[in-house]
């Protein structure tokens, strides 16, 4: 079956068409600036990529253009839409309602809508993508795969905040965690590479990208994770602050004369390594800056790695041990220096980095020495493939 994987944002739409038998990507691409002007980048495998500037007033037009490119005589990879057997949608927030992927029905759409409050920037966009596909491909079954679902196995003691319990009861305020598709995929793949059953492993997955989260996976199940009610909690990220003293919000709002909304905007968009360095949210720029002697670029990278190491320590503690630390996503897969910095704190776990193997970028590799008691690995994530697999499994 050919599965179209859709990841819809407020003004963008990423897609991949995946052959579920060979697991090959047939085409992938991105619609940007939806509702503004519109740009489509379409990359058919084995053919030249195309970039088209085209009017995209809404997501339905964007999906229509994607379907047109997929079936286009010159740039296409399928001869008709009949070949698309299913659509898998990434949905950011499934609240407590969704502990697994589901086939999309009108009831499911209503239940996703009910979670909009918890992810006001993401879920409405995901729903727009679902509705656009339903409109243009009414007979093709669709599946929703949630970023939060994998973490629904967390015990109460891990997901409850130290707040009045009624906020959990009335407003569902608790830790949900994100990047679940990635944490699930990487932890399973880690076990597979080692020839082990996930049930027999304690893995800490470090998903380090523009957004970063750490997850403790015990026996194949998420038992704790660093992101919370929203993706703002955890380690400092590209532009997000990560965990801070909550009193800072009021303090800065008063000092800088900012509204609550403006202060939250600072925490989401102007903080993290961007905020510390004052240079960039991109770890490559920070490395370049540090290499040229920019102390704040170096400091931003140090703060980040230190924070990741603290979560690793915390999760090793709550799982009473850890077998493998797996690094994934943009930074985790491609930045040997950040991995080295994180692992420099983990000697007490009997983890020693093999400096040569640690030079790897974007490839599966065990990067700890043969003598290490705890392994470190690079395991590239593949959220689209995981969504395609889930979609096929459900149908
Ligand atoms: P997102 O959270 O947007 O999915 P990614 O997982 O794609 O993010 O990670 C993006 C980040 O990965 C970039 O900000 C960049 O800092 C980092 N990155 C990507 N490639 C490299 C590289 N070759 N070396 C160092 N860092 C990289």
Kindly report the protein residue whose alpha carbon is nearest to atom 23 of ligand 1. 334
Based on the residue annotation, tell me whether 19 is a catalytic residue of this protein: no
Predicted model pTM: 0.95
How far does residue 251's CA lie from ligand 1's centre (Å)? 32
User: Does residue 311 line the site of ligand 1, with CB under 6 A?
Assistant: no
CA of 157 to the centre of ligand 1 (A): 32
The single residue listed with the structure tokens 């959990």 is 168
Closest CA to 324 of 232, 225, 206: 206
Catalytic residue among 147, 224, 323, 335: 147
What H or E segment, with its residue span, contains residue 7? strand 2-8
User: Measured in angstroms, how far is the CA atom of residue 332 from the centroid of ligand 1?
Assistant: 8
Other beta carbons within 10 angstroms of residue 66's beta carbon come to: 25
Atom of ligand 1 at shortest distance to CA of 285? 16
Q: Is 210 in the pocket of ligand 1 (CB under 6 A)?
A: yes
- What angle in degrees, to the nearest 10, is found between the helix axes of 295-318 and 283-291? 130
pLDDT in tens, the chain (395 residues): 999 999 998 889 999 999 999 999 999 999 999 989 999 999 999 999 999 999 999 999 999 999 999 999 999 999 999 999 999 999 999 999 999 999 999 999 999 999 998 888 889 999 999 999 999 999 999 999 999 999 999 999 999 999 999 999 999 999 999 999 999 999 999 999 999 999 999 999 999 999 999 999 999 999 999 999 999 999 999 999 999 999 999 999 999 999 999 999 999 999 999 999 999 999 999 999 999 999 999 999 999 999 999 999 999 999 999 999 999 999 999 999 999 999 999 999 999 999 999 999 999 999 999 999 999 999 999 999 999 999 999 99
Would you say the CB of residue 390 lies under 6 angstroms from ligand 1? no
- Testing ligand 1's pocket by substitution, the residue of 92, 181, 185, 209 carrying the most ligand atoms inside 8 A of its CB is 209
CB of 237 closer than 6 angstroms to any ligand 1 atom: no
3-state secondary structure of 332: helix
**Strands across the sheet with 375-378, in order?**
221-225, 212-218, 202-208, 324-328, 375-378, 365-366
Measured from the CB, is residue 362 less than 6 Å from ligand 1? no
């Amino acid at each position: 079956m050919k599965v179209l994987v859709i990841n819809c944002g407020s003004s963008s739409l990423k897609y991949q068409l995946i052959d579920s038998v060979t697991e090959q990507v047939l085409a992938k691409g991105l619609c940007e600036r939806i509702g503004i002007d519109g740009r489509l980048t379409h990359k058919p495998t084995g053919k030249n990529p195309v970039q088209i500037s085209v009017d995209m007033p809404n997501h339905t037009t964007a999906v229509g253009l994607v379907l047109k490119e997929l079936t286009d005589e010159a740039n296409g990879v399928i001869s008709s839409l009949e070949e698309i057997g299913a659509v898998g949608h990434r949905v950011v927030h499934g609240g407590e309602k969704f502990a697994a992927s589901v086939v999309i029905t009108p009831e499911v759409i209503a239940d996703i809508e009910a979670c909009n409050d918890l992810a006001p920037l993401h879920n409405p966009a995901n729903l727009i993508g679902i509705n656009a596909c339903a409109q243009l491909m009414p007979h093709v079954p669709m599946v929703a795969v949630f970023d939060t679902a994998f973490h629904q196995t967390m015990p109460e003691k891990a997901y409850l905040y130290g707040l009045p319990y009624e906020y959990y009861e009335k407003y569902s305020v608790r830790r949900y965690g994100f990047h679940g598709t990635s944490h699930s995929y990487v932890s399973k793949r880690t076990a597979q590479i080692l020839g082990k059953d996930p049930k027999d492993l304690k893995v800490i997955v470090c998903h380090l990208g523009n957004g970063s989260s750490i997850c403790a996976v015990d026996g194949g199940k998420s038992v704790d994770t660093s992101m919370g009610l929203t993706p703002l909690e955890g380690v400092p990220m590209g532009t997000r602050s990560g965990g801070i003293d909550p009193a800072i919000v009021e303090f800065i709002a008063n000092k800088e004369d900012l509204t609550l909304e403006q202060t939250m905007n600072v925490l989401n968009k102007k903080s993290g390594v961007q905020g510390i360095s004052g240079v960039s949210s991109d770890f490559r720029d920070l490395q370049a800056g540090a290499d040229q002697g920019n102390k704040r670029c170096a400091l931003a990278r140090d703060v980040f790695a230190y924070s990741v190491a603290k979560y690793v320590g915390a999760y090793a503690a709550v799982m009473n041990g850890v077998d493998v630390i797996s690094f994934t996503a943009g930074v985790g897969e491609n930045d040997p220096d950040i991995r080295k910095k994180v692992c420099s704190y983990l000697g007490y776990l009997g983890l020693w980095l093999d400096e040569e193997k640690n030079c790897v970028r974007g490839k599966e590799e065990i990067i700890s020495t043969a003598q290490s008691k705890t392994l470190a690995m690079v395991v590239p994530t593949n959220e689209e493939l995981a969504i395609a697999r889930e979609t096929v499994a459900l149908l």
